[in-house]
Amino acid sequence: MFKDKRGDFHHLPYRPCQLGRDFESFLKGRDQEGLEIITYIYDGKEEEEEEIQSVCAEFLKGKINEPMLPPTGQNLEGEMLAAITVPYLGAVAKIGFHFVLAHFNFLGTEPQFDDIKRFIFTGEIHA
């Protein structure tokens, strides 16, 4: 969690093994002199601490000695970025299809289900 000169907060999500690339992208086009680190939070695993220290060593120098915890009772806003793949959507479609079959009077062989079954099996959308 960073704070800039204007007092705006910026959150850089920690993704194990991707921090180097994420941190470099985050710093591009920002005034690094006016950027202050507020806190960093991770799972507490030794390899994660080492990654944070190695990637951010120059930036952290003299700014923070150890991870800080947000004050008790304070909310910390976060963001999760995740790619949604076609196989994932197929799995969600299959779950929904099976729900319909389990709760309504259908066999699953009806022609109105052909498109959803085709998507589940092939991942292709047929209009």
Which amino acid is located at 25 in the chain?
S
- Pair of tokens at residue 108: 């699953």
What number of CA atoms fall less than 13 Å from residue 53's CA on the CB side?
A: 10
pLDDT in tens, 83-122: 899 999 999 999 999 999 999 999 999 999 999 999 999 9
pTM: 0.47
Residue type, 105: N
pLDDT tens across 32-78, in order?
A: 777 887 777 777 778 888 888 788 777 766 665 555 555 566 676 66
pLDDT score of 114 = 94
